[in-house]
Amino acid sequence: MIRLAKDWRNVKEEIEAEIDRIWWDEPEEVTMAKLGIFPSGASVDGQVLGNLYFLMSDTTSMGSHTDTLMNHAFKDSRFTVDHLKFMWRHLTEVLAYLFGNVDPPGCPAPWFNCSKVKKFCDDIIDSFDTIKTKEELQDLLFSWSNYINCLNRWFWLTFPWHYGKSHPLRTEKDAQELLKLSKVGLVK
């Protein structure tokens, strides 16, 4: 598929507008996920806890983890703007596609409800030809990182942490009690 080149400044502006829109108001893709609504059918044996986990963990990877590495690389004179474009693309693109790719008939809707993640990733890649300096790329990726980190915070906030109540921490005292019970034949 051939996509038209985009100007990086326009891409940045669109990402910034989305950040403003979702900063205080829960994004639709987050609301759908927390309610278990995945029109793509994404699930494991009909449950979506794994989806929620990956939405949380993979936005961390695409956001703060990638941002940390990229910021170190931006400061390193051995990396050119083309090296940095290559690095960012290969750290981000696969996850962004998992979040928002559509591939009918098996995947009739964005896999993890996040079509904007894929769109913005595609737009950034499509704008690479208009980016001539490390500073321009860093400016654009600053907006991307803020967007992904904002989504990440929403996914962290809405994750069903209460499920952890069914998996309490076991102490040495608990283990001793189980051992004691096993010796009287109550536990095998």
Structure tokens at 51: 């989806």
Short-list 152, 149, 77, CA closest to 112: 152
Structure tokens at 100: 């928002």
Using CA atoms, how far apart are residues 53 and 59, in angstroms rounded to an integer?
10
Q: How far apart are the first and last CA of the chain?
A: 61
Structure tokens at 81: 């703007």
Residue-range domain boundaries for the chain: 8-160
User: Residues 91, 111: contact at Cβ < 8 Å?
Assistant: no
Phi and psi, residue 44, nearest 5°: -125, 115
130-182: pLDDT as tens digits: 999 999 999 999 999 999 999 999 999 999 999 999 999 999 999 999 888 88
pTM, 2 dp: 0.89
Residue 31 pLDDT level (bands cut at 50, 70, 90):
very high
67-117: pLDDT as tens digits: 999 999 999 999 999 999 999 999 999 999 999 999 999 999 999 999 999
